[in-house]
Amino acid sequence: MSGVVVVGAGPVGLTAALTLARRGIPVTVLEQGGALATESRASTFHPPTLEMLDGLGVLKPLLAQGIIASTFQYRERGGGAIATLDLGVLAEDTAYPFRVQCEQSRLTPILLDALPAHARVRFGHEVLGLSGGDDGVILHTSRGPVRADWVIGADGAHSAVRRGLGAGFEGSTYPERFLVASVDEDLEAALPGIAPINYVFDPEEWLVLLRTPQHWRVLLPTPADTPDDLELSRLPQRLTAVAELGRPWRLLHASLYRVHQRVTESFRRGRVLLLGDAAHVNNPLGGMGMNSGIHDAVQLGGALADVLAGGSEFGLDTAARWRRTVAVEHVQRASHANWQRLRGQDDGFRSHVEELAADPVAARTYLRRACLLDSLEPQR
């Protein structure tokens, strides 16, 4: 095998594969799992991501499964909305002035189906390491060696490609874990007036309420070192404290996870590119991880396609540097600021969002950054 080999069939790897395949480039995706992942993870698609998915011809089936969220709210725990921001103020900036709420596990089958015949996905192929040099790369896999002219490492936060390169993943781990609960409840009835996306301030126990097509999701902070069993046993009381339903909330699923803010040093090393969670991870507040990873895939995949069409590598290097700048200066900065604000560590933010809700010009500036429209290229 040669050509481009993408490691990982998550949203980022499959978007990269489709970007290359749409340019006529033969591409093979190696995925360790026996099938696409179905776990509950990202659920928000921002406007520029919708534009990119449209460009790849896969937006329509995603919209058919998602919920259009034109507004989101900042709220106060125990109180009502502090501010409702309307993404309609972005109408001149994007064809899609809204967020789409839909699980990432709904996008990956759409991407897989869209791949043409010259793109193959091989499940059950775990990449264990890599070696090689300027003229190609050998991937060592659970099924034997695989040769590639170029490798795209999109194999998630624990990336074997990144480790095989000996690349670092500097950053920090948050002092609290996040608990995500999916609930089978009508929160619009329980908390009248809420938006599909709600960020709720509280220094003690901030929270996020997100609607997905199938259910609502509640995100809560949780101490780092308490036993999982204890935290899960406390969850029913914590949900009742969000809204008293007169009975326990119907809980479908809950999981606890540690949150990191990390970025690798370089998104290109010779013939290997690192994209998505393999290159950068951040807290989920603001929904930027998968979105910025899809942007990596479209921009770096496009730049690699230019090289394979005979172009110089200057554009690829520029794109790799830019995507790292975005990860550090947009995604890490904004997601961390969102966490501090929810914890009540930014005194001025509450009045700032009240002002934003009343000032469409200021709201537009704020939302362009929050939804990553400002991160697409330096001058846009």
Ligand X SMILES: Cc1cc2nc3c(=O)[nH]c(=O)nc-3n(C[C@H](O)[C@H](O)[C@H](O)COP(=O)(O)OP(=O)(O)OC[C@H]3O[C@@H](n4cnc5c(N)ncnc54)[C@H](O)[C@@H]3O)c2cc1C
- Region of residue 295 (phi > 0: left; psi between -120 and 50: alpha; otherwise: beta): alpha
Question: Which residue, 131 or 351, has its beta carbon nearer to ligand X?
Answer: 131
Residue span binding ligand X (CB under 6 A) among the ranges 42-50, 74-82, 197-205, 355-363: 42-50
- Region of residue 186 (phi > 0: left; psi between -120 and 50: alpha; otherwise: beta): beta
Binding mask 45-64 for ligand X (x = CB under 6 A): --------------------
Residue span binding ligand X (CB under 6 A) among the ranges 5-13, 90-98, 224-232, 344-352: 5-13
Residue span binding ligand X (CB under 6 A) among the ranges 6-14, 56-64, 71-79, 238-246: 6-14
Q: In three state form, how does the secondary structure of 160-215 look?
A: HHHHHHCCCCEEEECCEEEEEEEECCCHHHHCCCCCCEEEEECCCCCEEEEECCCC
Question: Which residue, 21 or 42, has its beta carbon nearer to ligand X?
Answer: 42
Residues in region 254-313 near ligand X by CB under 6 A: 257, 276-278, 284, 287-291, 293
Is 288 within 8 Å of 331 (Cβ atoms)?
Answer: yes
Counting Cα atoms < 13 Å in the Cβ hemisphere of 217 gives 24
With b for 16 or more beta-carbon neighbours within 10 A and e for fewer, the 200-239 pattern comes to bbeeeebbbbbbbeebbbbbbbbeeeeeeeebbeebeebb
Helix (H, G, I), strand (E, B) or coil at 142: coil
Looking at 5, 6, 20, 42, which residue binds ligand X (CB under 6 A)?
42
CA distance 155 to 16: 12
Closest residue by beta carbon to ligand X: 10
- Is residue 221 close enough to count as binding ligand X by CB under 6 A? no
Question: Which residue, 185 or 277, has its beta carbon nearer to ligand X?
Answer: 277
For 54-126, strand residue ranges (E) read 67-69, 71-76, 81-86, 99-101, 119-123
Min dist. Cβ of residue 61 to ligand X (A)? 19
Q: Which residue has the tokens 């902070």?
A: 221
Looking at 10, 48, 164, 302, which residue binds ligand X (CB under 6 A)?
10
Looking at 47, 48, 66, 156, which residue binds ligand X (CB under 6 A)?
156
Residue span binding ligand X (CB under 6 A) among the ranges 25-33, 241-249, 261-269, 326-334: 25-33
Min dist. Cβ of residue 281 to ligand X (A)? 7
Min dist. Cβ of residue 246 to ligand X (A)? 29
Binding residues (CB under 6 A) for ligand X: these are 7-13, 30-33, 37, 41-44, 104, 126-127, 154-156, 160, 180, 257, 276-278, 284, 287-291, 293
